[in-house]
Amino acid sequence: MTAPTLNDPDLFRQQAFIAGAWVDADDGRTIPVDDPATGAIIGHVPDCGAPQARAAIDAAARAQADWKHRPPAERAAILMAWYDLMLEHSEDLARIMTIEQGKILAEALGEVRYAASFFKWFAEEARRIDGAVLAPPARDRRILVLKEPVGVSAAITPWNFPLAMITRKCAPALAAGCSMVIKPSELTPFSALAVARLGERAGVPAGLISIVTGMPEAIGAELTANPVVRKLSFTGSTRVGAILMRQSADTIKRLSLELGGNAPFLVFDDAACDLAVQGAMASKFRNAGQTCICANRVLVQSGIHDRFVAHLLDAVAALRVGSGLDPAATLGPLINDAAVAKVRAHVEDALARGARYASAPLHVDGRFVSPVVLTGVTADMLIAREETFGPVLPVFRFDTEEEAVRLANATPFGLASYFFTGSLDRAWRVGEALEFGMVGLNTGAISMESAPFGGVKQSGLGREGGHPGLDEFLEIKSFHMGGLGSGTA
Ligand SMILES: NC(=O)c1ccc[n+]([C@@H]2O[C@H](COP(=O)([O-])OP(=O)(O)OC[C@H]3O[C@@H](n4cnc5c(N)ncnc54)[C@H](O)[C@@H]3O)[C@@H](O)[C@H]2O)c1
Ligand SMILES: O=C[C@H](O)CS(=O)(=O)O
C-alpha cells in the first residue's frame, strides 16, 4: 500500500465518519482504492451497508434538531473555520486528491480553493436567509413568509471533482440549517474523509455530517428510501440520476440532480482566434477532459476553421502527459481502464466513419492517454452523441449560424455550452438560442461559487452555487395570522 506522504498524516483516514465517530464497516469489509497513475493500492475504506447509512441518517436527524436553531452567525462561523482549515491544509488535500483521482497537482490545488470558496460564500449568505411580511389582505390578517431548512439531506457525489462536488452541496446545506449524509465515489473516498476530518476540527457538531463509504447500491437504496431524508443532492451520470430519481419517488424527496453533459463549443468567423483556442484548451483538457462541462463538440465556422485548427494544434502539442505529481505534466491519467476504453472506442468509431487525425494519433500507455484532435467529425459519430470524458477534441465544420445552433442543440443534454464571436448582435441571438443551463461567451471558464451551476433537459434538475444553491435546501412556509384586533388574539 502506498499511502500519500502528508504534512498532516491525520488527514489520511481509512475509516468512515458516521455519527461523529470514525468506524469500520460493521462486518469489517473494505474496498481498495488505487492510484490511477500507478495502479498501486493507496489504501482501503470501509464497505458500509444500509444499517450504517441508517445510523448516519438517525444521527443527522438528532444533530439537525439543534443545528436549525443555531443563530446564523454561529453556523457561519463554523463554515468559515472550515474554509480556513481547508486553505491551511490545501497542499495535503491536493496531494490526496491527485493520488486517488489522478489530476495534476496544480489543478488539484485549484479544486481545493474552489471547493473551499463554497464554505466562504455560503457562510456569508447564512446570515441573509430572510423571509417576507406580505401586505395585509384584511385589517385582521397578517401573513409571514418564512424560509426554513429542508431538514436531513443526503448527497451522492462523483470521482472527478472529489472535494468541490461535496462542498458545493454541504456548504449550502449547513448554511440553511440542514444536516447531510454523504456517500462519496468509491473511487475517490479519501478526499471526502479528509475534508470531514477538517470539519470535525472546525467544530461541526457530531452527526451533522457523515461520510458513509462503500459500494453505492445498498447505501443509495437507504438514502433514497428512508423518509427521514427529505432532500437528495446527486452529482453524477444521467443514468444513475434517473435511478435515484425513481428510488426517491416513493418518499417525494426534494431533488437536486447535476448530471451528464455534451457541451458544444462554437467558433464563429468573427471570433478572436487565439481567445477561442485558449477557451477550447481550458475547457477541453482540464482534468484530462474528465469534466461534465468540458467542450465535447467543437463546431468551427468554415471561414476560420483552418486557422483555428492550426493554432489549436500548436497548443495541444505543448501538453505533457504524466503523473499528476510530476510538475512537468499538464495531463494526468484517466480514472480507470473503463475510461480509457471509452476514449479509444470514440476515436476508433469516428475514424471509421470518416474523421481524420489532425494531431498525432491516439497513444495509450496504461491509463495515460495522449491528447488528440480529430477533424471531419460529423453528428452520426459516437463522439458527437456521448460524453467522451477524455482528452479528445473533435472538430466539426459549419457554414451558417442557424446550422451551428441547430447542431449545438441536437442533444438530449443541456448542461454547458460555449461560443466565441465578436458580434454583439450574434452574442444575444446565440446566447438566447442555446438550450443549456450555462453559456460561456468568449470564455471557457464558467465555474464559480457565486453563479448558479446546473443543466436543463437530461443534464439535471436544480442549481448549485449562488442564491439558487441555497434555496435548494430551504422550504417556504406561509404563516397566516387571523382574528387580529378582535381582542381574542
Ligand atoms: N453536472 C455536474 O455538475 C457534474 C459534475 C461532475 C460529474 N458529472 C457527471 O458525472 C459522471 C462522472 O461521474 P461518475 O462516473 O462518478 O458518475 P456515476 O453516476 O457513475 O457515479 C456518481 C456517484 O453515484 C454513485 N452511484 C453509482 N450507482 C449508484 C446507484 N445505483 N445508487 C446509488 N449511487 C450510485 C457512485 O458511487 C458515485 O458516488 C459524468 O457523466 C459527468 O458528466 C456531472
Ligand atoms: O465535472 C463537473 C464539475 O461540476 C466541473 S466544475 O468543478 O464545476 O468546474
Question: 16 is written with which cell numbers?
Answer: 468512515
313 and 207 inside one domain: no
Q: For residue 45, report the phi and psi dihedrals to the nearest 5 degrees.
A: -130, 155
Please check whether residue 488 lies inside any domain of the structure.
no
Residue 365: DSSP 8-state: E
240 and 332 inside one domain: no
Please check whether residue 143 lies inside any domain of the structure.
yes
Q: For residues 450, 456, 458 and 463, what is the CA-based torsion angle, rounded to 10 degrees?
A: 30
Please check whether residue 431 lies inside any domain of the structure.
yes
229 and 185 inside one domain: yes
Cα-based distances in Å from 274 to 295, 304, 352: 16, 11, 31
Considering its fold, how many domains does the chain have in total? 2
Q: For residue 465, report the phi and psi dihedrals to the nearest 5 degrees.
A: 85, 150
Give the whole-angstrom CA distance, residue 360 versus residue 319.
12
Q: Tell me how far the alpha carbon of residue 74 is from its chain's centroid.
A: 27
CATH code for the domain of 333: 3.40.309.10
205 and 306 inside one domain: no
Length of the chain: 489
Please check whether residue 138 lies inside any domain of the structure.
yes
What one-letter code names the amino acid at 363? H
pLDDT at 2: 75
289 and 173 inside one domain: no
Distance 306 CA to ligand 1 centre (A): 37
pLDDT tens digits in sequence order for the chain, 489 residues long: 678 899 999 999 999 999 999 999 999 999 999 999 999 999 999 999 999 999 999 999 999 999 999 999 999 999 999 999 999 999 999 999 999 999 999 999 999 999 999 999 999 999 999 999 999 999 999 999 999 999 999 999 999 999 999 999 999 999 999 999 999 999 999 999 999 999 999 999 999 999 999 999 999 999 999 999 999 999 999 999 999 999 999 999 999 999 999 999 999 999 999 999 999 999 999 999 999 999 999 999 999 999 999 999 999 999 999 999 999 999 999 999 999 999 999 999 999 999 999 999 999 999 999 999 999 999 999 999 999 999 999 999 999 999 999 999 999 999 999 999 999 999 999 999 999 999 999 999 999 999 999 999 999 999 999 999 999 999 999 999 999 987 765
Give the whole-angstrom CA distance, residue 100 versus residue 445.
25
Q: Tell me how far the alpha carbon of residue 254 is from its chain's centroid.
A: 18
Please check whether residue 446 lies inside any domain of the structure.
no
| Ligand 2 atom index nearest CA of 164 | 7
Give the whole-angstrom CA distance, residue 421 versus residue 400.
13
Residues 6+ apart with CB under 8 A from 434: 264, 405, 408, 409, 417, 419
pLDDT at 489: 53
Give the whole-angstrom CA distance, residue 415 versus residue 436.
5
81 and 221 inside one domain: yes
197 and 310 inside one domain: no
Give the whole-angstrom CA distance, residue 92 versus residue 4.
9
Residue 433, H or E segment = helix 424-433
Give the whole-angstrom CA distance, residue 145 versus residue 53.
34
Distance 125 CA to ligand 2 centre (A): 22
Give the residue whose CA is nearest to atom 2 of ligand 2: 292
Residue 362 beta carbon below 6 angstroms from any ligand 2 atom? no
CATH code for the domain of 138: 3.40.605.10
**Domain range spanning residue 305?**
261-439
pTM for this predicted structure: 0.98
Please check whether residue 445 lies inside any domain of the structure.
no
Give the residue whose CA is nearest to atom 4 of ligand 2: 292
289 and 365 inside one domain: yes
Residue 157 beta carbon below 6 angstroms from any ligand 1 atom? yes
Please check whether residue 481 lies inside any domain of the structure.
no
Give the whole-angstrom CA distance, residue 11 versus residue 71.
30
226 and 299 inside one domain: no
Residue 260 beta carbon below 6 angstroms from any ligand 1 atom? yes
Question: 473 is written with which cell numbers?
Answer: 435546501
Give the whole-angstrom CA distance, residue 8 versus residue 127.
33
253 and 276 inside one domain: no
Q: Where are the alpha helices (DSSP H) in 102-235?
A: 105-126, 164-176, 189-202, 216-225
What residues does 181 pair with on adjacent strands?
Answer: 154, 210
Residue 349 beta carbon below 6 angstroms from any ligand 1 atom? no
**Helix, strand counts (H, E) of the chain:** 15, 24
Location of C-alpha cell 439558487: 468
Q: Mind telling me the catalytic residues? A: 258
Please check whether residue 204 lies inside any domain of the structure.
yes
343 and 434 inside one domain: yes
Residue 435 beta carbon below 6 angstroms from any ligand 1 atom? no
185 and 265 inside one domain: no
pLDDT at 449: 98
Residue 462: DSSP 8-state: S
Burial class (CB in 10 A: 0-12, 13-18, 19+), 402: exposed
Residue 160 beta carbon below 6 angstroms from any ligand 2 atom? yes
Distance 241 CA to ligand 1 centre (A): 8
pLDDT at 233: 98
Give the whole-angstrom CA distance, residue 305 versus residue 277.
11
Distance 160 CA to ligand 1 centre (A): 9
Give the whole-angstrom CA distance, residue 79 versus residue 85.
10
